[in-house]
Amino acid sequence: MPTSRPQEVLEQVRTMAERSGAAEAETFFEFVRFVEVRYREGEVELLQQSGITGLGLRVLRDGKMGFLYTTNLNRTVLDELVVRTIALAAQATPRDENKLPDQSFPPQTSLEIEDPTADRITPQDLIVLAKTLEDNAMLVNKVKTTQTSRAGYVVGETHFSNTFIPYQTFRSTAFWLTCAAIATDGSQKRVGSYADRKRNYVDLSTPDRVGRKAGERAVARLGAKPVPSARVPVVFEAEAAGGFLQGLFGAFAGLNVLEQRSFLAGKKGQAIASPMVTIVDDAILRRGLGTRPFDGEGSQTRRNLVVDRGTLTRYLHTAATARREGVAPSGSAWRGYDSLPAVGASNFYIENGSTKLSTIIEQVPRGLYVTGTAGFGFDLAAGEYSQQIEGNWIENGKLVQPVEGVTVAGKLSDMLLGVDAVGRDLDFRSQYCSPSLRFKELTVGGA
């Protein structure tokens, strides 16, 4: 990394800010190394390698806040950063919630979020992986080419210090394989994609499986057409359900709740979903993609039970929004060196149910099976949902016809309360995950 002394730099900058008039000061140092290969039609399209190093300084004085950042760690630049940040705070509006977290905790251990494989893997290794993705996608009948095949990894280091919390640091890694295959049948072409992402390289799916899965998804979309509009049961397979949960996440964010931008405002302690639904945001999940020992403000991370068997038990907060609601921080603040803390997901997921996906589908006499969604379809303030989907039509418990060009719509409150089946196929391939879900009845807008 560009500097071998981040702790020294952080504490020097923080101390300088405090001596220059800041009542409270926070320093956040970030280093990120990113490497990715993109491969298509037998050739390397792109080999990308980049590194980012930056330091952010936040100061508080008389309830006023100032924040600036730099990527230049020269002493003269850091001195200027302190002066300008304190001057910026003097011009700000005071707020009661402007106070840094002041509780320190023992560091979380055994999270397993760093894999030393990242220090050994070479660009040539990534090229081989990306080529294998494409080769296996093209083994699937009717797949003649790919849109892209990608293999890569990222290494990150976070260093933190504030006036009250001693210096903390952690290092993390992530590896990924992604393939988008193109299936052709006459003049019709359809794209299918599949990706896997893990903290530890050994946990990744094989490139053979990822490539084949992408090819199979592309072929499955051939012959897709709209279906008549109807109100029917709708099954979201696990990946699509995870995407739905991602769109829903903002409704649980403390700032949105406090500012009445969430349909869940004022509903803590109430039943907002089916008793089959339990939602967790777990920042200490072993090897989780959103796992970390402390959050973007230095607060200890934790496993937050957000919805317990249908009942809304808590919202997710930064220190500021927690103070406004009068509750403890949830360890949910995310940030980079160049941004202020905001609520973000750690490992946000719906817990497994007990029903096989095949059984969930077999129980539907006539309905829709969703495998993918497109576009942004959430109005979290109004609690409305409408999104274009792709998938299959269900007749008599069987998948009979690929569909596209249709939308699924409903009120989010009714959708959550109307979940009548939860699968047991939860797979942590992103920070937003869910098993398959069946909604009792939604509006399908088609031909």
Extents of the domains making up the chain: 6-220, 224-447
Quote the pLDDT of residue 104. 83
Please state, as a whole number, how many other Cβ atoms lie within 10 Å of the Cβ of residue 306.
Answer: 20
Share of the chain above pLDDT 90, in %: 95
Average pLDDT over residues 296-320: 97
CB 153, CB 35: distance < 8 Å:
yes
Quote the pLDDT of residue 4. 55
Provide CB contacts within 8 A for 261, sequence distance 6+: 255, 380, 381
Quote the pLDDT of residue 1. 42
SS3 per-residue string spanning the chain: CCCCCHHHHHHHHHHHHHHCCCCEEEEEEEEEEEEEEEEECCEEEEEEEEEEEEEEEEEEECCEEEEEEECCCCHHHHHHHHHHHHHHHHCCCCCCCCCCCCCCCCCCCCCCCCCHHHHCCCHHHHHHHHHHHHHHHCCCCCEEEEEEEEEEEEEEEEEEEECCCCCEEEEEEEEEEEEEEEEEECCEEEEEEEEEEECCHHHCCCHHHHHHHHHHHHHHCCCCECCCCEEEEEEECHHHHHHHHHHHHHHHEHHHHHCCCCCCCCCCCCECCCCCCCEEEECCCCCCCCCCCECCCCCECCEEEEEECCEECCCECCHHHHHHHCCCCCCCEECCCCCCCEECCCCEEECCCCECHHHHHHCCCEEEEEEEEECCCEECCCCEEEEEEEEEEEECCEEEEEEEEEEEEEEHHHHHHCEEEEECCCCCCCCEECCCEEEEEEEEECC
- 2 vs 343, which has greater pLDDT? 343
Check pLDDT > 80 for residue 330.
yes
Check pLDDT > 50 for residue 219.
yes
Provide CB contacts within 8 A for 19, sequence distance 6+: none
Average pLDDT over residues 421-430: 97
pLDDT bin (cut points 50, 70, 90) of residue 109 is: confident
Check pLDDT > 70 for residue 344.
yes
Of 85, 74, 67, nearest to 17 (Cα)? Answer: 85
The top-level CATH class assigned to 6-220 is alpha beta
Of 279, 283, 356, nearest to 310 (Cα)? Answer: 279
Quote the pLDDT of residue 105. 85
| Angle, alpha carbons 344-312-426 (nearest 5°) | 65
CB 21, CB 61: distance < 8 Å:
yes
Quote the pLDDT of residue 107. 74
Of 327, 311, 309, nearest to 264 (Cα)? Answer: 311
Average pLDDT over residues 381-402: 96
Average pLDDT over residues 385-413: 96
Quote the pLDDT of residue 2. 47
| Residue 307 φ then ψ, to 5° | -130, 125
Mean pLDDT, the chain, as a whole number?
Answer: 96
Of 233, 231, 272, nearest to 438 (Cα)? Answer: 233
The structure's pTM equals 0.96
Which amino acid is it at 67? F
Provide CB contacts within 8 A for 36, sequence distance 6+: 46, 47, 48, 126, 150, 151, 152, 153
Of 439, 444, 405, nearest to 241 (Cα)? Answer: 439
Quote the pLDDT of residue 447. 64
Average pLDDT over residues 180-205: 97
Average pLDDT over residues 178-191: 96
Q: Would you state the structure tokens that stand for residue 113, as one six-digit string?
A: 């979020």
CA dihedral 119, 125, 131, 135 (to 10 degrees): -100
Quote the pLDDT of residue 239. 97
Quote the pLDDT of residue 360. 98
The predicted-structure confidence for 129-156, as pLDDT tens digits, reads as follows 999 999 999 999 999 999 999 999 999 9
- 103 vs 13, which has greater pLDDT? 13
Quote the pLDDT of residue 376. 82
Average pLDDT over residues 225-230: 93
The conformational region for residue 202 under phi > 0 = left, psi -120 to 50 = alpha, else beta, is alpha
Share of the chain above pLDDT 70, in %: 99
Quote the pLDDT of residue 240. 97
Name the CA radius of gyration of the chain, rounded.
24
Polymer length of the chain:
447
Provide CB contacts within 8 A for 358, sequence distance 6+: none
| Residue 392 φ then ψ, to 5° | -140, 145
Quote the pLDDT of residue 420. 98
